[in-house]
């Protein structure tokens, strides 16, 4: 789809005040409920039977911990630190007027990239009784973690409050603070979430169409932007258009200059941070084809082009480039009628096919020494599949690509054979390991998009519908997607384990799937 909706043309409409954040802000903030749409609730204590309720704490006893040099909290939001294991000062969280007789989810969202395994115990503030623990491994910023608390535990929390104590970890861990402007990021602030009988699919779309679905700029945010764009066109609902503009407004200043943090939370303003960071430009080009960032991105691609024509970081060819390079490159090439750019986009897919597909299996990585790794990793298969399908979708038969259409048909048949009865795929398709909901959503989205664009026969729509049904079972009551394999930083062992997280990136892929099935 290459149509530019006039509602999206021009500069991004919603700007974000990236005010200076307060490190270790210790001031007590009022606690109050927030409705499921991020707006202030009507009743200070009532718990509606069908609507999730968010209650935020006051946070005190925050240690004065030096902020890591060269890094930054996203969007100028506030953050506080849990000191490294062995510290003697622990953040204290206290609530007032909590609903009684109901269980809840305690959530905190990581504000600065984590590169180790961390355990933060949740203890009652007075008795120091442990009531849960946050198991945080190699987390990017903007990813929430939760502890399920029983009604009896909530009763004790209401009386005592809690303290956060790191028992494993060598560096301070930064969480988002409670913001004064609670409508901006309430779901990403510390809170207790109460929900008795919600409708998780409806809540999914509410969370998507809000700041709760924000992700680090690059491939993660690119998945969410793609979902919002697709939903806005498939359903014509203004909330998705508004959310898309809002999301983009979080990453560009008034001069349309890119302002963001890289994968390690380092400041990367006005820079291109590797091939994985260029995915958002597919949507940016669709909503604002004259945006100045596109010229910067095209320059980056050309500087990273190898003699073979492939665009890669260093000595590694990755499946990500199928989605993060070929797809946005094709969007821009078709818009500008740039024949060389169109041909280069097609070449990215063909070269990755030749290097990453081996004996029908799909590998995430190919090294210059001929070594391949991460065989049939679900998200790697999703990146390869989405890149292939999205590139063909944009190309719209403007080139002879019968070889790529044959590859898509082979891929669809091959991947369908690995689908589980619940509609999902294992984190490594050929292994008996836990499923990955994000990889499953991405694979199914690729199939559904291909069917919608007459690139695959209709039988594959049933495969995708089965996945959508399975994904719904992994939604929290307020629509956040669980069961996502962690960001690929802990090696194959972490991916093969049962460790899974909440991820808005996966929600973005699920949104792309939903839009294609409409």
Of 169, 198, 227, the domain-final residue: 198
Q: DSSP secondary-structure letter at 291? A: -
Q: What is the DSSP string of 26-64?
A: -------EE-TTSSBPSSSS---SSS-EEEPPEEE----
State the residue range of the domain holding 173.
33-198
CATH number assigned to the domain comprising residue 428: 1.50.10.10
Nearest to 349 by CA among 405, 425, 281: 405
Residues 190 and 305 in one domain: no
Residues 252 and 309 in one domain: yes
DSSP H or E stretch at residue 375: strand 372-375
Q: DSSP secondary-structure letter at 417? A: T
In a domain, residue 24? The reply is no
In a domain, residue 19? The reply is no
**Tally of domains within the chain:** 2
Q: DSSP secondary-structure letter at 505? A: H
Of 165, 198, 231, the domain-final residue: 198
CB 375 within 8 A of CB 428: yes
| Residue 473 backbone dihedrals phi, psi, to 5 degrees | -70, -10
Of 198, 230, 265, the domain-final residue: 198
CA count, 13 A, side-chain hemisphere, 423? 23
Residues 166 and 238 in one domain: no
Burial of 344 (0-12, 13-18, 19+ CB in 10 A): buried
Q: What is the DSSP string of 298-351?
A: HHHHHHTB-TTS-B-BTTEEETHHIIIIIHHHHHHHHHHT-HHHHHHHHHHHHH
Q: Which pLDDT value is given to residue 35?
A: 40
Residues 236 and 129 in one domain: no
Residues 176 and 223 in one domain: no
CA count, 13 A, side-chain hemisphere, 411? 31
The total of other beta-carbon atoms located within 10 Å of residue 371's CB is 9
CB within 8 Å of 503: residues ≥ 6 apart: 143, 220, 438, 481, 484
Residues 186 and 224 in one domain: no
Q: Which pLDDT value is given to residue 184?
A: 56
In a domain, residue 139? The reply is yes
- Beta strands 79-82 and 173-176: pairing type? antiparallel
Residues 345 and 477 in one domain: yes
CB 114 within 8 A of CB 173: yes
State how far the Cα of 462 lies from the Cα of 409, in Å rounded to an integer. 15
In a domain, residue 26? The reply is no
Q: DSSP secondary-structure letter at 265? A: S
Residues 191 and 230 in one domain: no
CB 203 within 8 A of CB 478: yes
CB 436 within 8 A of CB 462: no
Residues 130 and 255 in one domain: no
Q: Supply the angle between the helices 238-249 and 219-235 in degrees, to the nearest 10.
A: 160
Tell me the mean pLDDT per 10 residues along the chain, length 518.
38 40 32 36 49 94 94 96 89 95 97 98 98 98 98 98 97 92 77 90 97 98 98 97 97 96 97 96 98 97 96 94 98 96 98 98 96 98 98 89 97 98 98 98 99 98 98 97 95 96 98 98
In a domain, residue 266? The reply is yes
Nearest to 485 by CA among 425, 430, 445: 425
C-alpha dist (Å) from residue 509 to 379, 437, 443, 467, 474: 11, 9, 9, 12, 14
In a domain, residue 114? The reply is yes
CATH number assigned to the domain comprising residue 155: 2.60.120
In a domain, residue 25? The reply is no
Nearest to 449 by CA among 269, 270, 229, 181: 229
Residues 188 and 211 in one domain: no
Residues 292 and 434 in one domain: yes
In a domain, residue 191? The reply is yes
Nearest to 109 by CA among 16, 28, 207, 202: 207
State how far the Cα of 84 lies from the Cα of 119, in Å rounded to an integer. 10
Residues 59 and 141 in one domain: yes
- Token pair belonging to 264: 């390690």
């Amino acid at each position: 789809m290459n149509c530019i909706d006039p509602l999206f043309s021009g500069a991004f409409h919603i700007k974000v005040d990236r005010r200076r954040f307060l490190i270790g802000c210790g001031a007590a903030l009022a606690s109050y409920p927030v409705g499921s749409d991020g707006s202030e609730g009507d009743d200070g204590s009532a718990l509606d039977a069908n609507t999730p309720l968010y209650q935020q704490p006051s946070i005190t006893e925050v240690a004065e911990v030096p902020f890591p040099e060269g890094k930054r909290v996203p969007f100028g939001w506030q953050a506080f630190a849990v000191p490294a294991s062995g510290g003697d000062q622990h953040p204290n969280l206290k609530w007032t007027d909590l609903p009684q007789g109901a269980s809840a989810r305690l959530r905190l969202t990581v504000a600065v990239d984590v590169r180790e395994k961390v355990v933060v115990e949740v203890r009652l503030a007075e008795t120091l009784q442990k009531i849960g623990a946050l198991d945080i491994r190699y987390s990017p910023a903007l990813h929430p973690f939760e502890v399920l608390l029983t009604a009896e535990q909530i009763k004790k929390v209401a009386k005592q409050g809690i303290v956060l104590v790191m028992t494993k970890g060598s560096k301070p861990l930064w969480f988002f603070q409670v913001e004064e402007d609670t409508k901006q990021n309430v779901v990403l602030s510390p809170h207790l979430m109460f929900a008795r009988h919600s409708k998780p699919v409806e809540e999914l779309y509410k969370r998507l169409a809000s700041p709760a679905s924000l992700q680090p700029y690059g491939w993660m945010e690119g998945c969410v932007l793609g979902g919002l764009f697709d939903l806005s066109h498939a359903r014509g609902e203004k909330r998705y258009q508004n959310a898309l503009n809002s999301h983009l407004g979080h990453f560009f200043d008034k001069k349309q200059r890119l302002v963001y943090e890289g994968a390690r939370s380092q400041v990367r303003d006005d820079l291109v941070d590797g091939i994985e960071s260029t995915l958002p430009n597919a949507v940016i080009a669709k909503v604002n084809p004259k945006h100045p960032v596109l010229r910067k991105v095209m320059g980056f691609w050309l500087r990273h082009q190898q003699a073979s024509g492939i665009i890669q970081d260093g000595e590694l060819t990755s499946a990500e480039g199928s989605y993060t390079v070929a797809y946005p490159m094709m969007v821009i090439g078709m818009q500008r009628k740039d024949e060389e750019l169109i041909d280069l986009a097609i070449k990215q897919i063909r070269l990755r096919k030749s290097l990453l597909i081996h004996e029908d299996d799909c590998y995430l990585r190919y090294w210059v020494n001929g070594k391949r790794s991460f065989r049939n990793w679900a998200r790697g298969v999703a990146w390869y599949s989405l890149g292939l399908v999205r590139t063909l979708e944009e190309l719209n038969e403007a080139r002879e690509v019968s070889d790529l259409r044959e590859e898509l048909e082979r891929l669809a048949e091959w991947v369908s054979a690995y689908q589980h009865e619940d509609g999902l795929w294992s984190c490594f398709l050929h292994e008996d390991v836990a499923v990955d909901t994000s990889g499953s959503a991405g694979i199914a989205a690729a199939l559904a998009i291909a069917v919608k664009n007459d690139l695959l026969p209709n039988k594959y729509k049933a495969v995708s519908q089965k996945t959508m049904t399975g994904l719904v079972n992994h939604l929290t009551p307020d629509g956040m997607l669980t069961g996502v394999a962690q960001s690929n930083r802990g090696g194959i062992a972490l991916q093969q384990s049962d460790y899974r997280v909440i991820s808005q990136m996966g929600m973005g892929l699920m949104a792309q799937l939903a839009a294609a099935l409409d």
